[in-house]
Structure 1
Amino acid sequence: MALFGKKDEEHAANLVFQQLRLAADRRARFYVVVRTRDGKQHSLPGLIESYEGPTLLIDMSTGVRLSSAWKGQTVECYFRIVAMAPQRTEQHFMFASRILDIRALSTGLIVELEKPAAIDSGQRRRSVRVRPVPELVGLLEMRRDQSSDDGPLPLAALDDYRRIIGVAAQNPLEGDAPTVPLAPAPAADQGPVPASSPASDPQPGLVDISAGGLRACIAPRAGEDGEKGPLTRGDKVVLRAILHWPGGAHQPLDVLLKGEISTRMHTGSVAGGVDVGVEYLLDGKIDADGTVTWVPVRDGVYRIAQWVNAVYMEYMRKVRSR
């Protein structure tokens, strides 16, 4: 739903101007999302340089590369405004625009955008990221992707993949529904390690998660090189996660995904650990006969986005009630 209507164009233009001015004054991070021919999206960060003229100028860092061939292309734009008093609040805004010009400067890159007639309230689905409390993470398991392709395969075949992190699943995935009734699985960082999982297996900690990826803190296996660790950037993995809804509103969310290690930090969120970032690539759909079919992830996994939003809204409800 549009935050600023278009019935009164002059009034709408004033509201757009006010929000852009506030974003510029507070140095709010501004994102321009471009979509390549293969369907992948790239989020380019910048800051509002000028908003007073007929167009919108965005100052991007020297690390951003954008070809002049993008002139005339329609893009999605996102920014948020944070207020700290009387309590911390966030407002997220979005609008579609068109790239009018791209100018390379010695200090970076200036992208000239068509100024929007209206701005919507909302944010990019895959970019909403939360840090769930441990009680909401029933299981986090990561294995190396050992398949030769991304074609269908029996669910049981995943048992032979080398486990990188995680405890043994008590309730195997079955059927084609992602939220089949499950008995609560042990939290990933709580309780004893089942006998089916080697004692040297590092136990993961879910640092944060979004509809497009997650970050986990893991420790090297016993006797493994701590600097090199069990995973490096570019490695392909298979993820399984069981996520409990706040307040037990629904059956736990049980997801199976293929992903790629996109980042690896030298230090972890937990002492002695190493943080790795995973980008979702394929979503596993399980047929009644136990065959996994992999579906490409375009703009995040929708059911994870719903869960992330529920966790975020529960957090905001608690903050506002204080």
Structure 2
Amino acid sequence: MKVIYLHHPYQKKNIPAQDVVLALGFFGGVHLGHQAVITQARLEATKRKLPLAAMTFDHHPAVVFPARHVDGVHYLTSVERKAALMADLGVDILYVVSFTSSFAHLTPQDFVDQYIVALHARAVVAGFDYTYGPRDEANMAKLPQYAQKRFDIVEVPEFLLDGQKVSSTQIREDLENSDVDHANSFLGYHYQTDGLVVHGEARGRTLGFPTANVLSDPWVRIPGIGIYAVRIKIGGKWWKGMASIGRNVTFGDNRPITIEINIFDFDQEIYGETVSVEWFHYLRGEIKFAGADELIDQLHQDERNIREYFAQLNL
């Protein structure tokens, strides 16, 4: 897959000359609803024997216009992670547009002319709620008037799972509430974050449970406080483990939130490694124990529970 970064106003020489089918969306999380859009676009591209292109943004519009977003900006996917998911879904070209003030000031007609027609889109595929400007002026119902019959339009309906709308908003709420299990059901895959392994307090080693302390990308959302069944990718290989997101309240109050992962059957130093973490299952909340002995007993039980969980998955 080719990734093309566009900064408004972009240079036309950066746009491949061939016609494409173009999927539109922010695609935060590339969840099941987004996958439905891209799958439909892939079908259109195959039918027309054209490459499939998709357009997203390098950051959320809320970075430029904070008043539009009340939840803060913590992405479900980095641009790199989004690109990897798009490639897996068969996207041939990914346009990553820099959402700047000058881009935001485009009229709906300018957006259509410069970011659909000028990208050689023969057909556009987007979700029913896609907007490209003010919602009452730049929605899917009004897209035909701006298109002026220069490209076809395919609108993908709302995606429901067990009667619930699959949305990035709900997934963010699930993660905030530590419910990675439900978030994963909406994503269609296990939620993943990346981070750098850094030195911590080394307390886990003294307890018999050495941990990798992972410094996560501050722009990417991490699950809420709790104990989780995870897999961690180190140097191309996945390892099972148990992760703690919390403040280590047994050892003091008002401590910072950290991500610590005890990797099963693993005994190597990995400081400085960039790792990926897949969040499989929420096990329990953080508990303030009376002392280290009670904590160690609970950690042994957590390990048994998580190993049993993975065994049931045949992983």
Q: Normalising TM by the smaller chain, what interval?
A: under 0.3
TM-score (norm 1): 0.26
TM-score (norm 2): 0.26
- Which is strand-richer, 1 or 2? 1
